[in-house]
Amino acid sequence: MRIGTDIVSINRVAKSIDRFGDRYKKRFLNPSEIQKAKRTESIAGYWAAKEAISKALGCGIGAELSFLDITIYKDKKNAPYFRLSLKAQNIHNIKDSSLSISHDRGFAIAVVILKL
């Protein structure tokens, strides 16, 4: 089992969106995520989730795993889960996972548990 966590300031994400607009979002969100994540809090949560996943995998964001290799989804009960690109799946052998994203008082946080 591996665990990863990340916390990000929602205000920091808001400033980046104001400054760079869609270019900022396209840097780390897939098109389906851009459609779903309309609120800044949600966008910050996706950032935190992807960082937490990369930390749990022990590689960080880089050559082995890019932000765009990770796609965040929501199930019927609105609980988040993720899938890796085929390239990343071939590198990282994840057998099971659990993802939680939350935001409050100006921060978004994500925690992931992976069974490798």
Q: Which residues are catalytic?
A: 55, 103
Could you tell me the CA-to-CA distances from 30 to 2, 33, 87, 115, 116 in Å, in that order? 25, 5, 15, 24, 25
8 bridge partner residues: 108
Nearest to 39 by CA among 103, 105, 109: 103
Phi, psi of 95 (to 5 degrees): -90, -35
